[in-house]
Structure 1
């Protein structure tokens, strides 16, 4: 398990790139560092709140999976210091997040909804 490289997302769209790089490196701490301390991550039936639960979620995920393909990053929708970010995975699944600008100008996720399946796949 590698440690957080310290690189910060200076735009909300940069979070997805950092996620991909850190996930493929097996960097659980780097993934946790993309979230505010009280952030919420929802993945199917799992809801992880705060760094400890998010860390546990990613430790489990990375133990089971080692390759994360790069997603198509879609333009963020911004409203002041808040932004909705979107990514489309190669299988068509969509990820939607809410990010907040930090005092140093960097961005962190505060809400993360992983893997929303396209309507045709939900049936």
Structure 2
């Protein structure tokens, strides 16, 4: 498992893609707060590390890989940040990150597509 932590909310997207392409599911899950929520756009929300791990394991089993897109600058307000990426297929992601007590960042909300 990759243990490097995000010191800037902009790091989260890059780390997620790198870890997925390396097959590091534990490293991917570690980028999310334990109470994080993911909206994949397919119905029910994915809540918490166990469900997030199952989601990423399913992607790995399907051979699904995240595409690298053009990341917008994070909008930071205190200990909360909005991150967003414009993907090659035209969709746009939106995520909310929260600064942790040690100064690192974790995602708490991830929405795969806002378009």
Q: Paired residue for 2:106, among 98, 105, 108?
A: 108
CA RMSD, aligned part only?
A: 1.1
Structure 2 counterpart of 1:10: 7
TM-score (norm 1): 0.87
Q: Compare CA radii of gyration and give the structure with the larger one.
A: 1
- Pair 1:37-2:34 in alignment: yes
Write out the 4+ residue segments of structure 1 that deviate beyond 3 Å after TM superposition. none
How many residues of Structure 1 are paired with residues of Structure 2 in the alignment? 114
Gaps of 5+ in 1: 118-123
Matches within 5 A, 1:36-75: 36-44=33-41, 45-75=43-73
**Contact kept? 1:24, 1:66, Cα under 8 Å:** no
TM-score (norm 2): 0.93
